[in-house]
Amino acid sequence: DVKVTQSSRYLVKRTGEKVFLECVQDMDHENMFWYRQDPGLGLRLIYFSYDVKMKEKGDIPEGYSVSREKKERFSLILESASTNQTSMYLCASAVVGGQGGTDTQYFGPGTRLTVL
């Protein structure tokens, strides 16, 4: 079974703090993703990575950065946390699909971040 783990289930931080969210997958997937999930807005893609050290902006990258130094690990960084970044953060990984696009995404359990 594919396993995607996230470093914390719940996290509470203060405004202005630097926050690291870690994600690790154990299936040698090329693609990894960070989403945030908010009520009424569904999932929104923050960043994704299709290879080590490669990244692309998603729909809402402002206020976030990412790091992928190893294939199995994809980190999301909030340089200076703000209250509007309070959300559920979901990490996912996927192989490259048969049509050259991403195939089934496997999700971690999520990190519920609260910024006070």
Partner 1 sequence: GNSVTQMEGPVTLSEEAFLTINCTYTATGYPSLFWYVQYPGEGLQLLLKATKADDKGSNKGFEATYRKETTSFHLEKGSVQVSDSAVYFCALTAYGNNRLAFGKGNQVVVIP
Contact set with partner 1 (CB under 8 A): 4, 31, 33, 40-43, 45, 48, 50, 56, 58, 90, 92, 96-110
Nearest partner of 77 among 42, 56, 46, 108, judged by Cα = 46
Q: Pairing relation of β-strands 10-13 and 111-115?
A: parallel
Please report how close the Cβ of residue 98 comes to partner 1 at its closest, in angstroms.
Answer: 7
* Cβ proximity to partner 1, 29 vs 75, nearer residue: 29
* Cβ proximity to partner 1, 16 vs 97, nearer residue: 97
Please report how close the Cβ of residue 61 comes to partner 1 at its closest, in angstroms.
Answer: 13
Q: Pairing relation of β-strands 31-38 and 42-51?
A: antiparallel
**CB atoms inside a 10 Å sphere around CB 18:** 10
Please report how close the Cβ of residue 66 comes to partner 1 at its closest, in angstroms.
Answer: 14
Please report how close the Cβ of residue 16 comes to partner 1 at its closest, in angstroms.
Answer: 28
**CA pair distance 69, 38, nearest whole angstrom:** 28
Map tokens 């969210």 to a residue: 21
* Cβ proximity to partner 1, 14 vs 57, nearer residue: 57
* Cβ proximity to partner 1, 81 vs 110, nearer residue: 110
Structure tokens at 29: 């997937």
